[in-house]
Amino acid sequence: MTSAPILRRALLYVPGSSKRMMEKARGLNVDCIAYDLEDAVTAAQKPTARHIIKDALNLPRPGGVREVGVRVNAVETGLALQDLRVVLQGRNLDTIVVPKVESAGDLTFVSNVLDHSNHPNKSSVKILALLESARSIIDIRQICTSTPRLSGLIFAAEDFAKDLSITRTPSLTEFLLARQTITTAARAYNIPSAIDLVCTSYRDIATLERECLDGVGMGFNGKQVIHPSQVDVVQRLFLPGEGQVRAAVKVLVAEGVAEVEGRGSWGLDGRMVDRPVIEAARRTVGKMEAAGVDISGVWEAEKETKPE
């Protein structure tokens, strides 16, 4: 039996220095929030923000939020250790988001701090790595194998563009190599999440939708968001569509019949179905179940499906 997929369709950054924004985020229905100690917080605000986040992590878990994380400062700044010492005093911490990961050493450093902390759930705290430079893409193999805590790769387009002295365009073609490298590496090393770039035009829904569909087509299973208004669109588009769900259910219903008949491969709707197709169908249905989407009507409608 396969485990339920980890859902990180939307990863919402929330400034750790804003109690108001953090309280608002607690009321959202969102897969993952990351209280931010890095880009959204000025140097002068960081000491206060650490304690604001710690206090928030000691509140009861928010009902609509699946995963609560903290984006610390980059390891190379020397601030990450200060961040971790404070936020690891918060009980309800699931994930550490590590920015500007340049090498495996950045992640082993964070993992070692977790191992030697007094956090009550330290063994289950996961790490997400932000890849923001040419070096991180070139050294992605070492990064992916650095720690078993690594649970996701995130592409940071703005810093990557800065590192390469390129300009972001609406087509996003300038990021093609980096994005495909990230999704391929995530699959190759069984890392659950590959999370795509931020849509910086947060009021432009058409652009957001286009970027989501582009990301899905490239193999990403989530997207970073910077405004609550983006969450519903992103989480809808990073789930399988109605036609995809119906096709998956038909495969699984017919597969039950084929198994009884002892058929390893068979036809359905004019195409051959074998083990990879069946596993893909199970993943599709699993995503819907993990998201709490009721597809019982689809199962009922397709209950008579048989292999050809």
**Binding site per annotation, positions for Mg(2+):** 132, 159
78: alpha, beta or left? (left if phi > 0; alpha if psi -120 to 50): left
**Residues comprising the binding site?**
71, 132, 159
Residue 36 is inside which H or E element, if any? strand 30-36
Indicate the pairing of strand 222-225 with strand 266-268. unpaired
Q: Bridge partners of 35? A: 14, 70
Indicate the pairing of strand 222-225 with strand 126-131. unpaired
Strands (E), the chain: 10-15, 30-36, 65-71, 95-98, 126-131, 150-155, 193-196, 222-225, 266-268, 271-273
Q: For residue 93, what are its two tokens?
A: 């911490």
**Residues comprising the binding site for substrate?**
71, 132
Half-sphere exposure of 255 (CA within 13 A, CB side): 17
Nearest to 251 by CA among 266, 231, 234, 233: 266
